[in-house]
Each structure stands twice: as structure tokens, then as C-alpha cells.
Structure 1
Amino acid sequence: MSLRYVGKDPNSEEENCPSVLVDEQTGDYVLQGWVADEGTITECEKFGPIAPNEAVIRLPARMTELLKEAIRANEHPDVR
């Protein structure tokens, strides 16, 4: 697996913070985020069960541009 780092939460000064990455082999988005609280998980479960191999995470809205950048990079992998 080869992950391409797109960026981290722009308001975070910590090393371990919400981040956006792209798996260069599969094009999958890899998201590091905050573990969702029970209220968020309960709300998500209204739309279907959360499988044992799934997790609910939160990314701050201020990371929208990083998500868009990851999508653009996937659409045009030859442009970096």
C-alpha cells in the first residue's frame, strides 16, 4: 500500500490530528479523524447498522478543501 498525504486539519498544531490521505493503488480515501461520540453513532445507526469492521469518525468542516483536493487528485492522478 502506498498512501499519498493530502493534508491535516489546518487548525491543529498536534502531530496526531485529523488527516486526509489517498491510497495510490486503489484510489480509496483514508481518513484519520476523531472517534465519534455515542450520540453521533446512535444517529448514524438510524440509517443502518455499523459493521464490526467499520468506524464512525468526525472530520471538522474546515477540512472540506482537503477532501476536495483528494477528490481532484483521484480524478487526475498524473497531476500533483
Structure 2
Amino acid sequence: MSLQFIGVDPESGQTGSPTAWVDGQTRDIVLQSYIADEATRTECIERNAPGHVKTIPEGETVIRIPAHMIHILREACDAAERAAVR
């Protein structure tokens, strides 16, 4: 695995660190962020995708990405697409 650092939450200071990377081999976007609170997790389960079991499968979780990081997520998507062209 070869992770390309894309960006970190500029408002997190030195303690919090929501961060985005792109895996150079798979082009997956890798995110580190805040664990969603129980109310958010419950709503995600209740409003699950049609045809899917109403649960959060083992090995998955719900995270929150701060809205002010949208530009970093766009950059991660662009980097993943560029990697496909190589």
C-alpha cells in the first residue's frame, strides 16, 4: 500500500486530525475522522439503502467529515481519478 497524503482538517490544530489519503495502488480514498455519535449511527441504520439490511456491518462504521473539508475530499477524488490515468 502506498498512501498519498491529501490533506488534514485545517481547523483541527495539533490534536484532532481528520485526514484524507489516496491509496496509490487501489485508488481507494482513505479517511480518518470523528466517530459518529449514536444518534447519527441510529439514523444511518434506519435510513439504510433500499434492499440492504438495517445494520452497520462488522468492519464498517459511520464517520463524520467536517463540512469545511469538502475541498480536501474533492482533491482526494481528483487524485484517485488521476491515478487511474497513469
Fold similarity call, TM over 0.5: yes
Q: Paired residues, what number?
A: 78
**Residue 61 of structure 1 aligns with which residue?**
67
State how 1:6-21 maps to structure 2 within 5 Å.
Answer: 6-21=6-21
**Identity across the alignment (%):** 46
**Residue 32 of structure 2 aligns with which residue?**
32
- Across the aligned residues of Structure 1 and Structure 2, the Cα RMSD in angstroms comes to 1.4
Structure 2 runs not aligned, ≥5 long: 49-53
Structure 1 runs not aligned, ≥5 long: none
Divergent runs of 4+, >6 A: none
Larger radius of gyration: 2
TM-score, normalised by the number of residues in structure 2: 0.84
TM-score, normalised by the number of residues in structure 1: 0.90
**Residue 51 of structure 2 aligns with which residue?**
none
* Alpha-carbon contact 2:36-2:62 (below 8 Å) kept: yes
